[in-house]
């Protein structure tokens, strides 16, 4: 076991446990987006940055391992500025039509925008213009709403072991596509819908909207398990 301190709260946690999960389990909310409790971390969104006493700069708490004596701060002027900038950069390539998005009210990105108080006003908007893919059974892919958190790719590859979803590139734009660039139904997709289940935005959705409807926490078929403020009692 290790004793760490997060924002003045002393916690006894398993040595090497990821610090983001230590904080969330103790009721200390750290904003996060690419983290999902069922997936390996990839540390891509930079929302969960923290400062560790004795270390230079900031570091992502989802990839930080708890060490005995570690003292962590989850907010400071520098953290708030960098976190806001990271979110603004994500929003620069995201449509602004939240109120008409099927994931409205149940979107982790929307929750972060409200929690952090960011918008893309300082950034030049970058419309991706990727055609929405509706030709598959069960699933809709709208890559314009994708923030490249990689949860769907990790769910498909690491959690389910199917390996259909991957990062592709077109005209210097990275997007989530399929292994051979075909429709999911023409690849080896099992339509397990894990990708839609873990997607934090309206990018990958189930056609019946069972996973994207704004159900109450206790009613949800697949409750959000990421401890974002919209779905927990954590302030």
Instruction: Give the residue with the Cβ less far from ligand FES, 48 or 165.
Output: 48
- In the bound complex, what is the minimum distance in angstroms from residue 48's beta carbon to ligand FES? 3
- In the bound complex, what is the minimum distance in angstroms from residue 126's beta carbon to ligand FES? 20
Please, are residues 231 and 218 in contact by the beta-carbon 8 Å criterion? no
Question: Which residues of this chain interact with ligand FES, rule CB under 6 A?
Answer: 32-35, 43-48, 60, 62
The span from the CA of 17 to the CA of 93, in Å, is: 33
Please, are residues 177 and 112 in contact by the beta-carbon 8 Å criterion? no
- In the bound complex, what is the minimum distance in angstroms from residue 41's beta carbon to ligand FES? 7
- In the bound complex, what is the minimum distance in angstroms from residue 20's beta carbon to ligand FES? 6
- Using a CB cutoff of 8 Å and minimum separation of 24, what contacts does 220-228 make? 222/197, 224/106, 224/108, 225/36, 225/37, 225/38, 226/32, 226/35, 226/36, 226/37, 226/108, 226/200, 227/24, 227/29, 228/32, 228/108, 228/111, 228/112
The span from the CA of 47 to the CA of 107, in Å, is: 15
The C-alpha angle with vertex 194 and arms to 135 and 63, in degrees rounded to 5, equals 125
Instruction: Give the residue with the Cβ less far from ligand FES, 93 or 162.
Output: 93
- In the bound complex, what is the minimum distance in angstroms from residue 36's beta carbon to ligand FES? 9
Interacting residues of 151 by C-beta distance below 8 A, sequence separation 6+: 34, 36, 39, 195, 198, 199, 200
Q: DSSP label at 120? A: S
Instruction: Give the residue with the Cβ less far from ligand FES, 44 or 157.
Output: 44
The span from the CA of 146 to the CA of 198, in Å, is: 12
- In the bound complex, what is the minimum distance in angstroms from residue 38's beta carbon to ligand FES? 14
Instruction: Give the residue with the Cβ less far from ligand FES, 47 or 227.
Output: 47
Instruction: Give the residue with the Cβ less far from ligand FES, 62 or 72.
Output: 62
Instruction: Give the residue with the Cβ less far from ligand FES, 35 or 205.
Output: 35
């Amino acid at each position: 076991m290790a004793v760490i301190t997060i924002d003045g709260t002393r916690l006894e946690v398993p040595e090497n446990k990821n610090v983001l999960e230590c904080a969330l389990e103790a009721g200390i909310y750290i904003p996060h987006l690419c983290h999902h409790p069922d997936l390996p971390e990839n540390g891509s969104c930079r929302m969960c940055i923290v400062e560790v006493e004795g270390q230079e700069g900031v570091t992502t708490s989802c990839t930080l391992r708890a060490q005995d004596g570690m003292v962590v701060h989850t907010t400071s002027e520098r953290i708030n500025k960098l976190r806001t900038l990271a979110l603004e950069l994500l929003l620069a390539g995201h449509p602004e039509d939240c109120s008409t998005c099927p994931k409205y009210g149940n979107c982790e990105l929307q929750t972060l925008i409200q929690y952090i108080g960011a918008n893309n006003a300082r950034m030049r908007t970058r419309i991706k213009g990727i055609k929405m893919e509706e030709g598959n059974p069960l699933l809709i892919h709208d890559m314009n709403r994708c923030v490249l958190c990689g949860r769907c790719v990790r769910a498909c590859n690491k959690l389910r072991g199917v390996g259909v979803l991957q990062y592709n590139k077109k005209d210097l734009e990275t997007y989530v596509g399929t292994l051979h660039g075909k429709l999911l139904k023409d690849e080896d997709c099992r339509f397990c819908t894990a990708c839609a289940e873990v997607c934090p935005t309206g990018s990958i959705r189930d056609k019946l909207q069972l996973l994207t409807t704004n159900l109450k926490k206790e009613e949800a078929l697949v409750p959000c398990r990421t401890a974002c403020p919209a779905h927990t009692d954590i302030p």
